[in-house]
Amino acid sequence: MTMQEIKTELDSKAVDFNSAALADDFAKMAKITKDMEPLITSYAKKSKEAYLDSKATLADAIKAPTYKVLKIKDNTDSESGLTVRSVEFADKTIQLNDLCVKFPGSFRFKNWKAYVEQLNLRLCLLTATKLELPKQQIAEIEEKFRMTNGGKSIDLEGTPTSNTQLLKQLRTVVNGIMGEEDITGKVTSHDVEYLKMVYTSKGKALRSVKTMNSAKLADAILNIMNRVMTGTSYSVEYQKSKDGTTGATVTEVKKDTVKAAAKETAKETPKAEAKKSSGKGGGKAKAAAKETKAESVA
């Protein structure tokens, strides 16, 4: 099947799924979902192949590292509870290892994976140090850190907990993948910050932090190389409100508006009347206070 035929078939199955959902035929819904999964996988494989075939050089691929895949999206109506299925396009980033297979002669260091592993160890030690783990645990990390591509033989030099040194090490890894003459840009401290931010996530165990494996770290480095070579910036993903606002209403009040309102109020209330009114109110308040005091004494 061609990619277009796969998409058409998936759209048809999504319609069948929605019909089964209307009829509360859960067995049919489950079967349709199972039938859709290999089609989704097949489309992704063909799209990846087409992407790699379209790139003439490693630099071309790094500058535009995404290709289209399909995903199943189920939306449930809050009132009726009815699930409506659709098939949508999504972007997927090519893996650095796939580019190595496609352009084996373009990678400067044949053992670039070993450099990634050593950088991974440095980042892990930096994380442990920032969390103030005991020296014994930090030493254990350095001893038992998994390296399957010869990372232990790579010396990136310098202390693993120094940001300045980490920048040098990141540049070494990037330049090991592509020669400096092929990179139209420079790795900066912003790239180090990005790498540190995406490197960790909340671990499964209580109070634990999970670090990237070396394969995912290589993909993060690909993102850095893309930023460097395209001259673009990083972005932040966050949860947005449905209407695009914060929920708070902000009213801008200018000084001139306040002054004009104050003058208008002063015109409507003459000073003498305001003073008289204030005096009457004050006298009544004092009389009431005296009366209350007398009753209390009695």
* Residue 89 confidence (pLDDT) above 90: yes
Higher pLDDT, 34 or 241: 34
Sign of CA dihedral 37, 39, 44, 45: positive
**Tokens describing residue 160:** 């693993």
In the three-class reduction of DSSP (H, G, I as helix; E, B as strand; rest coil), residue 94 is classed as coil
CA distance 47 to 93: 12
Largest Cα–Cα separation, the chain:
107
| Residue 180 banded pLDDT, cuts 50, 70, 90 | low
- State mean pLDDT over 247-256: 46
Reported as a single tens digit per residue, the pLDDT across 4-23 is 999 999 999 999 999 999 99
Dihedrals φ, ψ of 7, to 5°?
Answer: -60, -45
The pLDDT assigned to 154 comes to 83
CA distance 128 to 161: 9
Q: Are 125 and 166 in contact (CB under 8 A)?
A: no
Q: Which residue has the tokens 């070396």?
A: 214
CA atoms within 13 A on the CB side of 114: 12
Read off the DSSP letter of residue 57. S
CA distance 164 to 160: 10
Output the average pLDDT for the chain.
83
C-alpha 192 chain-centroid distance: 16
The pLDDT assigned to 244 comes to 62
Other Cβ atoms within 10 Å of 55 Cβ, number:
19
Reported as a single tens digit per residue, the pLDDT across 264-293 is 544 544 444 444 444 444 454 444 444 444
Task: Give the Å distances, CA to CA, from 9 to 39, 74, 126.
Answer: 8, 17, 49
CA distance 193 to 233: 13
Higher pLDDT, 273 or 62: 62
C-alpha 1 chain-centroid distance: 35
Q: Among 64, 186, 169, 75, which Cα is nearest to 123's?
A: 169
Pairing of strands 209-211, 200-202: antiparallel
Q: Are 199 and 122 in contact (CB under 8 A)?
A: no
Reported as a single tens digit per residue, the pLDDT across 187-237 is 999 999 999 999 999 999 999 999 999 999 999 999 999 999 999 999 999
In the three-class reduction of DSSP (H, G, I as helix; E, B as strand; rest coil), residue 45 is classed as helix
The residues with which 86 forms a beta bridge, in sequence order, are 73
Task: Let me know the angle formed at the C-alpha of 142 by 140 and 148, rounded to the nearest 5 degrees.
Answer: 115
Q: Which pTM value belongs to this model? A: 0.75
Higher pLDDT, 153 or 21: 21
